[in-house]
Amino acid sequence: MLDFLRKVDISQDVIDKMYEVHDTGLLYSLKANGENCLGIIMFLKRMKVNVIDELLIYKTSWFLKTISEFTSYFNCDYHLIDKINNDYMSIEL
């Protein structure tokens, strides 16, 4: 179901962990939002976020947003990248 994540170099270990942590409904929602999810991952890679795997596992709801909604958070907080890289669990979007 989450094989589409392999297109952006998300490892099978991360995908397996997502299956362990989340219920099927959330994973189906993620798959249904696959294009936006991939766009958000590519955006995070361009912005040099180094905890994308952890975000997919523990902040999955971020990837259910539209790309424009997601990127708007970064327009409001120029230090958000550093905050995410340093302590992603404390960030609510």
Q: pLDDT tens across 24-52, in order?
A: 999 999 999 999 999 999 999 999 999 99
Q: Which domain holds residue 84?
A: 3-90
Question: Alpha-carbon distance 27 to 23, whole Å?
Answer: 7
What does pTM read for this prediction? 0.89
Q: How many domains does the chain have?
A: 1
Mean pLDDT of the chain: 92
81 touches 71 (CB < 8 A): no
| 38 phi and psi angles, rounded to 5 deg | -65, -40
